[in-house]
A and B are shown apart, each in its own frame.
Chain A
Amino acid sequence: MIAAALRLRGLLVKEVTQVRRDPSSLLIAFLLPLVLLLINGFSITLDARAVRLAVVIDAPTAPTQDLFQAMAASPYLAPILVATTADGARLIASGSARGMLVVRQDFAETLLRPQRWPAHLGLQVSGTDPNTARLVEGYVAGALQTWLSSHALENRLLATPAATLEHRYWFNAELRSSNSIIPGMIAFVMSMTGTLLTALVVAREWERGTMESMLASPARMAELIAAKLVVYFGLGMISMLEAVLVGTLVFAVPFRDGILPLLAAAALFLLFALALGLFISTLVRNQFLASQLAFLVTMLPAMMLSGMLFDIASMPPWLQWLTYLFPARYLVSILQTLFLAGSVNAVLLPNLAALAISATVAVAATLAVTRRRLD
């Protein structure tokens, strides 16, 4: 027992010293998450802001001028006045505008006598990106609605509508996509840095020939693995906290509730990611190959199959089943809940259980592939 404690102490001292002297693990632990979060957090956004919209007004009058101002007042739209529909089409074709609003000659007239003929506006939207197209349509309709009701009130043309729909979005009242993406990004960053941290270390020992002398020493394989897990676990938890701070401070994502479940989820997931890295490293014994594999098995599933970008519920059933194999989905689910909804045990507990199982499997698999021999 004392012997095991001594061996573990020796291995821990060695790992800590190596981490301190080796800038690459510190870079992976602290710089990589920061860079990934900042780049992806700013670039991946599902909102459209200040969409450029060509506006053709056949006969400028006071009401059409007023309508244009209303469009310009919307934070989501940036209207550009053009002379003809042909000019507008050119802007759309060149990508300078997302759509074109056409205000016909008779707009002002029909607006005054809506009973006879409804006022008519034409909206053409570039369908190259269907998601943005739907957003543009919504923004224009919204801006128009706002303008119409104020216009009607001013001119006493219509009484206040009999009923209006008042809607609220739960959990993310402003519908900011960063509120849902950043928690997912944290999971993505954690799975990459966690796996990458350890994917290199065992392979490095093989490449430098130190593994051979460890294998010939009385150290047990479990002790060797444990020492690495403990040290890199510490690094990984710090980098996790760094990611949470960046999310809340830089991207202003609210954190509702539940520090304890956050730590528990992070710890379990980190254990899984670190063990996966060790597993890869032990298997391939080559730093280059190990880092390639680590990227492949963490980045793709964490991006595509975790629910961070794409809603799992709208995937085909076979793909939904596949997502259960990648623990990133459990973490994404937990993080999105904690950040946006707070501690909802019905979501947290099953996901935490799934993470615990993943971590156990990964550690067991690593121990199973680490043998005391060179062959």
Chain B
Amino acid sequence: MTEPVAPLATIAGLRHRFPGARHAAPQTALDGIDTTILPGMITGVVGPDGAGKTTLLRLLAGLLRPTAGQIAVFGLDLADHAATVHDRIGYMPQRFGLYEDLTVAGNIQLHADLHAMPSAIRVPRISMLLAATGLAPFTDRLAGKLSGGMKQKLGLVCALLARPKLLLLDEPSVGVDPASRRELWAIVAHMLAEGLADGMGVVWATAYLDEAERCGRVLLLHEGRLLADDTPEAIMAPMRDRVFLLDVPPGQRRAAVRLAASVAGVADASVQGDHLRIVLRPGAALPDPSALGGSHLSPAAPRLEDGFIDRLGTVAPTPIPAPATRPVAQGPAIEVAHLVRRFGDFLAVDDVSFSVARGEIFGLLGPNGAGKSTIFRMLCGLLRPSAGRAQVAGGDLIREPAAARARLGYMAQRFSLYGELTARENLRFFARVYGLSRAAQQAAVAAALADFDLADSADQVAGDLPLGVKQRLALAASLLHAPDILFLDEPTSGVDPLARRAFWARIGTLAEAGVTVLVTSHFMDEAEYCDRLAIVSSGRLIATGTPADLRGRVRSDAMPNPTLEDAFIALVGADLRARAA
């Protein structure tokens, strides 16, 4: 790598704005982007939802015309030569762009025809890609009947068919399970190695920072601006010697987070498993562990997320007021015994039992389609169990769902806010729905606006709020009636790391005050914040325990220091093998 290689794409002074929908102002999706895409590596386009990742990929694919600036692909300006370069670009849109009513083979043949591939090239290429992705046994299956992970692979096969020089993948790993995510990465890396001689390069958009760490180069996007354009190592370099793990006694982690955040020199503190992860400000001296409420500080490897947060220019996290502790009744908050739910012949939930103590944060972890949402809906009283018992807050959901529901707060995945109402109007509406008296409504709305830092956005229409603010608003709405139990459905998917930290800090203080929190997620990052986890696979609970427990179960010589994701993949894999046997 001594000679400079010709870039696959050059982006100069790029700006893109979308005309505002309805009466909204035009939205600037990207601004001031200057970068190059190099061959021979995976370039990660990294950032939270709404950062401009998809817009950048669509611009590179020639599907959008930039408002200002130039994009050249293979040395040709896209403004004039979009049609010429299409033949050598492989593009996989976010929803894979598959024809669901065509078979796997049908989709592949269509793309082969569109690229006018002669059969002498087509036949061996298709069989090679089918073998590499493991799709060969499924060629006759309708694309609509494939699992998420298989659709993703089929989308990849279609994009790779014509040996593209530039492969653009728009969040290929959203919503698929961790095992499929890793497999996809391996396939793309393999294809890149194979295409190296052709000078192939890959652009991979993702919100997963662990994926980004494996990229050759990372374009870190935040609110349409390029925050960093470098190798992951270089982005993490300033964080070296600034990240530590603090041992804290069990049960005191959350109090320790609040304590640590108030210590000068600490830029960021978060719960990680049974430790506290401390990030220091540049040049800050190592604090005394006992001042942080712990016993021992050990250095830890920085993560890309630390670099991201550092570059976002962290201000000290706003201290979150500790809520008044409420009288904690005895007995478990949620108790589920032998819960079963069938849909026709399909067993969506198969004999699930668990219990959650009051003030505990409990996570249901599993890939899409594992049955998490079905369990959730039964616990919320939205779906009747086929068999089994579910008690929430001491009430039986099956016999008195309304009474049990009044003690629940629920925050849906897409936040279920009314986009046309302002933040204040949304809160008022939910206060009325929960049946609060007029005086209580006003007090609850005022308190929510103050506690959740929403005063500045109170009169903005909810649809125009940034994702992180929407998330705070949705949480505030679900807590208006001071519920004993809070249900969170994939609460932080897609929000930026700062907003995610702040969110979990709030959830931590709620739990400290005695609120029981039940979370579903397929994000391992979210799982780290939980006290206990249950892993759900194909409708069954296959493991329950603290994050440390679950990691410990899969620890081996080959994997001395497993992450939660490693544990998840190993446990789900073992369960599937046991069932197949």
Contacts and interface: CB of A to CB of B under 8 A. Distances in A.
On whether the two chains bind one another, the answer is yes
Interface of A: 2-4, 6-7, 9-11, 13-14, 17-18, 21-22, 208-210, 212-220, 372-375
Contact of B97 (A18, A209, A374): A209
Nearest to A4: B116
B289 interface: no
Contacts of B111: 10, 217
Given A6-B116, A212-B97, A373-B63, A218 B86 contact: yes
19 contacts: A4-B116, A6-B116, A7-B114, A10-B112, A10-B113, A14-B106, A21-B142, A209-B93, A209-B95, A212-B93, A213-B96, A213-B158, A216-B63, A216-B89, A216-B91, A217-B86, A217-B115, A218-B115, A374-B64
A330 to B, nearest CB: 36
Given A7-B116, A21-B101, A215 B109 contact: no
Given A3-B116, A7-B113, A373-B63, 9 more contacts: A7-B116, A17-B106, A21-B142, A209-B93, A212-B97, A213-B97, A215-B63, A217-B111, A220-B83
Contact of B110 (A11, A22, A374): A11
Interface string B71-109: 000000000001100110101111111111110001001
Contact of A10 (B58, B62, B114): B114
A216 B99 CA distance: 15
B65 interface: yes
A223 to B, nearest CB: 9
A372 B58 contact: no
B97 A210 contact: yes
B425 to A, nearest CB: 27
Contacts, number: 96
Contacts of A374: 58, 63-64
Contacts of A212: 58, 63, 91, 93, 97
Contact of B64 (A4, A22, A373): A373
Contacts of B58: 212, 374
Given A11-B110, A213-B158, A374-B63, A2 B116 contact: yes
Contacts of B117: 6
Contact of A373 (B65, B94, B113, B116): B65
B407 to A, nearest CB: 39
Q: Give 10 closest A-B pairs by Cβ, nearest first.
A: A10-B113, A213-B97, A3-B116, A209-B95, A216-B91, A212-B93, A6-B116, A21-B101, A217-B114, A374-B63
B94 A209 contact: yes
Contacts of B102: 14, 17-18
A10 B109 contact: yes
Contact of A13 (B62, B97, B113, B116): B113
Interface residues of B, number: 36
B473 interface: no
B69 to A, nearest CB: 15
B61 interface: yes
A12 to B, nearest CB: 9
Nearest to A219: B114
A14 B100 CA distance: 11
Contacts of A7: 113-114, 116
A213 B86 contact: no
A9 B113 contact: yes
B157 to A, nearest CB: 12
A210 B101 CA distance: 12
User: Quick one: which of A22, A212, A219 has the most chain B CB within 10 A?
Assistant: A212
B207 to A, nearest CB: 18
Contacts of B112: 10
Contacts of B94: 209
Nearest to B159: A213
Nearest to A209: B95
A217 B83 CA distance: 9
A7 B116 CA distance: 6
B86 A208 contact: no
Contacts of A22: 101
A210 B109 contact: no
B99 A210 contact: yes
A219 B83 CA distance: 9
Given A18-B99, A209-B97, A372-B83, A11 B113 contact: yes
A214 B93 CA distance: 10
Interface string B30-71: 000000000000000000000000000010011111000000
B64 A375 contact: yes
Contacts of B100: 208
B153 to A, nearest CB: 15
B96 A375 contact: no
Nearest to A7: B114
B86 A216 contact: yes
Contacts of B110: 10-11, 13-14
A375 B65 contact: yes
Contacts of A208: 95, 99-100
Contacts of A213: 91-93, 96-98, 158
Nearest to A211: B97
B112 to A, nearest CB: 7
User: Quick one: which of A2, A11, A215 has the most chain B CB within 10 A?
Assistant: A215
A217 B142 CA distance: 21
B34 to A, nearest CB: 22
A13 B109 contact: yes
A217 B86 CA distance: 6
Nearest to B58: A374
Contacts of A2: 116
A288 B262 CA distance: 54
Interface string B336-356: 000000000000000000000
Contacts of B18: 375
A215 B109 CA distance: 17
A21 B116 CA distance: 25
A92 B95 CA distance: 66
Contacts of B115: 217-218
Nearest to B98: A210
B96 A209 contact: yes
A218 B116 contact: yes
A219 B96 CA distance: 17
A6 B96 contact: no
A218 B97 contact: no
B61 A216 contact: yes
Nearest to A3: B116
A4 B110 CA distance: 13
A220 B113 CA distance: 12
Interface in B391-438: none
Nearest to B158: A213
Contacts of A214: 97, 114
A262 B98 CA distance: 40
A328 to B, nearest CB: 32
A214 B96 CA distance: 11
A2 B116 CA distance: 8
